[in-house]
Amino acid sequence: MSEIVVVFDFDKTIVDCDSDNWVIDELGFTDLFNQLLPTMPWNSLMDKMMMELHSNGKTIEDVEEVLHRIPIHPRVIPAIKAAHALGCELRIVSDANMFFIESILKHLGIREYFSEINTNPGYVNEEGRLRILPYHDFNKASHGCSLCPPNMCKGLIIERIQKSISEEEKKRFIYLGDGSGDYCPSLRLKEKDFMMPRKNFPVWDLICKDPLLVKAEIHGWSDGEELEQVLLQLINKISMEENALFISSDCKLQTLSVSAHEALPKVLPVRP
């Protein structure tokens, strides 16, 4: 049973660019995108852009080919695999879409490391066109959060995940993100949790304005290498703390927790 839930943003956190911009730019639709951006919400524009791609003869295979060569820092996949091997539960909360995220993760061979992906629905319709829909149906009711775009409040998603985990389990969250949409969830984290904002990106700037608003411990990172170092250090720190409690409550379980540590890479020395 894992005591740590690691929540990853996707764009500029797992992959090293914005997947929406990457697809639009690589297929040569940047000008149209920039022209339409002031006229509608990002999420609706992405759906419209997929229609434009389709009517200009770009197939779903063209989109997938572009997704499969999206830039990713070489230390991010090892970091994800190590966190999983250390027993963490991994989730994604992203304002990209399910089609892009699953195509990329499956291509990289890391889809199965994540227990849940919370993102905007994305699917290929009967005409072979990709449809991208809002996560929250804002035609029915607004999510009521002034910090977030109309299609998705990541804070509400974090709140749901927190509620779905029973209090007795005492799970601790580590949240990684870069964008302004990652600020709302950072405000929902508790004292025992950790926020990992990407340094000098929008969420970092928002946190720096008044760091005391974030109850979680803040640990910045700037690239995939630092993401890996900081994430594994935090997991290790939490595991040591939890094991200390565990051992003091039942000495017989000490061997169990020690052997679990020995099998794993990059851990600090185990207490005697």
**Residue 223 is labelled as binding a ligand:** no
**Residue 18 is labelled as binding a ligand:** no
* Cβ-based nearer residue to Mg ion, 86 or 152: 152
List own/partner pairs for 115-120 with CB under 8 A and 24 or more apart. 115/89, 115/90, 115/91, 116/91, 116/92, 116/161, 117/91, 117/92, 118/91, 118/92, 118/93, 118/94, 118/157, 119/10, 119/92, 119/93, 119/94, 119/95, 120/43, 120/95, 120/96, 120/151, 120/152
Q: Which of 3, 20, 178, 193 binds Mg ion (CB under 5 A)?
A: 178
20 near Mg ion, rule: CB under 5 A: no
155 near Zn ion, rule: CB under 5 A: yes
Residue 11 is a catalytic residue: yes
* Cβ-based nearer residue to Zn ion, 139 or 146: 146
Residues numbered 172 to 191 that lie near Zn ion (CB under 5 A) are 184
Q: Which of 148, 196, 207, 231 binds Zn ion (CB under 5 A)?
A: 148
Judged by beta carbon distances under 5 to 8 A according to partner kind, the member of Zn ion, Mg ion, none in contact with residue 155 is Zn ion
Tell which residue, 55, 12, 59, has the closest CA to residue 32: 55
List residues near Zn ion by CB under 5 A: 145, 147-148, 153, 155, 184
What residues are labeled active site? 9, 11
